[in-house]
Amino acid sequence: MPLYQHVAERGPPPVTEEQRSHGAPEPYHLMGKGAVPDPDNPTVLVIVTGGTLCMDVRADAEGGSLRPMEGGLRASLMQMDELDDKRGKRQQLPHFEVLEWPHLIDSSDVGPEEWRGLARDIERHYTDYDGFVVIHGTDTMAYTASALSFMLENLGKPVILTGAMLPLAKVQTDGKRNLLVALFIAAYSQLTEVCILFASVLMRGNRATKSDCWAFKAFESPNYPPLGRVGVEIRIDESLLLAPSKRAFRVFTGLCTNVICFRLTPGFDDAALVRLFETDMHPFGVVLQLYGTGNAPVRGGKFLSVLQQGIDRGCAVVAVSQCYKGALNLQAYANGAKLLQAGVINGGDMTPEAAATKLAYLLGKGYRGPRLRRLMETDLRGEVTDNPDYLPIPADRMPPTLHVVHTAPTPATHPPAVDRDSEGNGDTSGDGGVKAKGEAGRGGQEGWSLEHTRGDGLRCRL
């Protein structure tokens, strides 16, 4: 039984006079190739915003650079064999309709206004389709996916963002496969969240980040496993998915746009931060990218005092790590603890994209002070890990000093330096003992391995 109720024999959803006056486009079928919608099978709306997939090279004064081509996607789709009914391949795909923005854009031009437009498009057609695919440029795709994950409240259908590293018109394009796989997932999966599908990997949208500007595998999810992978089969791990909401779907578009990201750099001039907070026009929110697990300079200079001044004036400061992978823990180091005391919010393992859009969402809803802190540190859409198990061990539970056991090649005529049990593991008995594992000098190579065990069961492996 289909997950959603389908509407039989319907054409494109109607556009109101108000929407038409604002230039709202209408969805279209691929004329001559689109199959008649089957009420027992899902239908997907493909929203085309622009991006590399829709681009082509123009020989102009700009040196033949890639630029969006209005109507170019429709022409390319018409030429795809997979959509040709005469060869029977079209019947293998879910029925879909295309909603192409009147003016396709490069994703570097995408911002809150475009996010609002996307959210409204999905809201307007929400009851008419079983899933949505958004064609988007890769440069800001992670920001858009994160923003939509918060703006689309109580989402009950899949919203899949995808794109390409090469235009659809190129022979070696990755866009064709990305688009076709996204269609299948949007139509047949049980997803109720915003995702990114790229290079056969399905990722939660607010966990993904662009990691490569040249490879087809352009996106990764550093702090959360991929939701699914596509090979001979499409495999989705249901244990990783968000639970469906029982509340009615609704859209929130009132994002606070007075949010900036600030990345620490060694030796930077504190005056830049002073100017950021010294006027009444200071930002409402700042995403502060710290070193490592949450370190920042506090010796000398004005960094800490200026930060405290900004927080006292009502600016919300959320800290995330500059590291590609891992979680923030402001209590790990004394410098970070001072930031926590000043009122900095711990962003955990959120990506900068998720932290910025979540902050804009919550500020737009009017949250401030302790309530804002609590919600920023709480998992709302799967964007942050509650109490991740890879956080550093608290200082009060650190094991005693560890002694490294170094193993070196040992002649066969001499016994190894560490007594061994029946399994070949070194052992010194007693609580707090050290176990050196493995054979010394195996294969003639030097190496060391250490496992420290305390009486309270805490294990620390190096």
* Binding site feature residues for substrate: 107, 138-139
Q: CA-CA distances (angstroms) from residue 16 to 61, 108, 202, 377, 459?
A: 41, 30, 35, 40, 64
Exactly one of 52, 209, 351, 357 is catalytic; name it.
Answer: 52
144 is catalytic: no
Q: Which helix (H) or strand (E) holds 374?
A: helix 369-376
Segment (H or E) for 320: strand 316-321
- Could you count the other beta carbons within 10 Å of the beta carbon of residue 129? 26
Q: DSSP characters for 45-99?
A: EEEEEESGGGEEE--STT-S-EEE-TTHHHHHHHT-GGG-GGGT-GGGSPEEEEE
Q: Whole-angstrom distance between the N-terminal and C-terminal Cα of the chain?
A: 51
357 catalytic? Reply is: no
DSSP result, 393-456: PPGGGPPSPP---EE----TTS--SS-B-TTS-B---STT-EE--S-TTGGG--EE--EEE-TT
Cα distance between residue 324 and residue 138, in whole Å? 18
Question: Which whole-number Å values give the CA distances from 88 to 20, 176, 265, in the listed order?
Answer: 36, 18, 58
| Structural contact between residues 263 and 289, judged by C-beta atoms closer than 8 angstroms | yes
Q: What is the C-alpha separation between 323 and 418, in angstroms, rounded?
A: 38
d(CA 50, CA 109): 10
Q: For residue 96, give the amino acid letter.
A: F
Q: Residue 362 and residue 406: Cα distance in Å, rounded?
A: 52
Adjacent-strand bridge partners of 345? 318
- Among 16, 49, 127, 138, which one carries the catalytic annotation? 138
Cα 14 to Cα 337: distance, rounded to the nearest angstrom? 56
How far apart (Å, rounded) are the C-alpha atoms in residues 202 and 186?
A: 11
Residue 251 CB neighbour total at 10 angstroms: 18
Number of other residues whose CB lies within 10 A of the CB of residue 423: 7
Phi-psi region of 63 (alpha: psi -120 to 50; beta: other; left: phi over 0): left
* Cα 307 to Cα 317: distance, rounded to the nearest angstrom: 8
The residues carrying an active-site annotation are 52, 138
